[in-house]
Structure 1
Amino acid sequence: MILKVINQSKHPLPEYQTPLSAGLDLRANISEPVAIKPLERKLVGTGLFIELPAGFEAQIRPRSGLAFKHGLTVLNTPGTIDADYRGEIKVLLVNLSSEEFVVQDGERIAQMVVAKHEQIHWETTEVLSDTERGAGGYGSTGKA
């Protein structure tokens, strides 16, 4: 897939880190470091603007290393960028650790996965088909 992008950042375009990676690492594009205190959230710009084709979304997800090592994750995960959005991609970071984390310019702060999706049309009904699970909710599967 070819994706149109405007790169107003100081950094190269995101790249896949391995040949089988699903996500592209997004970098912070900031003029000065951004300190995020414990339980604080900050919106961090990337300087990237994209044009997704109809039927696709971009999902913004945490980077596992930042989450594990520093408790830094992405709120509203996965964040969805719709095909009609043309603004800057920004990442809503939250610090779930007990220590302040400082985001540096150019730091890889999140990953972006582009995914195909469908739009639904509702069909109202009075009954749904039966399944083995039925109406079993949270924690209902895997019980012996």
Structure 2
Amino acid sequence: MHKKIYRSTLVARIKRPVEINFLERKLISTGLFIYENTRSSFFLKKKMIESICIIHLTKKKKHPFYNEIQIIIINVFPEKNIMIHPNEELGILDIITDVKKIKWKKCFILNKSIRGNNSFGSTGIL
């Protein structure tokens, strides 16, 4: 078994631009879901480093085993406001997973099974 890293870009999944004033905080959805026991690391874009960002994982009722990645952005600079635009790249997510090797076994005869006549793999149940 060895480790594999998958990289994905975190994008703001919002409908309108969001302005964040001094000491204000906003929760920005990325629309990206990860499995709840996944090891991952986050790298934020330079623009996001100018603020305080907290990665927030939210459970959804539709997907009980997956968490949506959301980012809480807090503007700590009194000089300027932060603008987040729809589909703007916020950061990069690296997901680290275990990859298992499988062994194939050659087989010359397959076991017979009862199939319906509807189509390939059909159980025959209508």
Question: What TM-score does the superposition give when structure 1 sets the normalisation length?
Answer: 0.48
Q: For the Cα contact (< 8 Å) 1:62–1:73, is it kept in 2? A: no
Question: What TM-score does the superposition give when structure 2 sets the normalisation length?
Answer: 0.54
Out of 74, 77, 82, the residue aligned to residue 94 of structure 1 is: 74
The structure that has the greater radius of gyration is: 2
Do the aligned partners of residues 61 and 40 (structure 1) sit closer, same or farther apart at CA in structure 2, a change above 3 Å counting? farther
Query: Per chain length, whose mean CA-contact separation is higher, i.e. which structure has more relative contact order (CA < 8 Å, sep 6+)?
Result: 2
Cα distance in 1 for partners of 2:65, 2:24 equals 26
Paired residues in the alignment total 89
Cα distance in 2 for partners of 1:57, 1:95 equals 28
Q: For the Cα contact (< 8 Å) 2:48–2:90, is it kept in 1? A: no
- Which blocks of at least 5 consecutive residues in structure 2 are unaligned? 59-63, 98-126
Do the aligned partners of residues 87 and 67 (structure 1) sit closer, same or farther apart at CA in structure 2, a change above 3 Å counting? closer
- Where 2:47 maps in the other structure, the secondary structure is helix
Cα distance in 2 for partners of 1:80, 1:115 equals 17
| 1:13 aligned partner | none
Q: For the Cα contact (< 8 Å) 1:49–1:88, is it kept in 2? A: yes
Q: Deviations over 1:37-70 (max 9, x none)?
A: 1122111001112236x5x32233432x1145xx
| 1:49 aligned partner | 33
| 2:18 aligned partner | 34
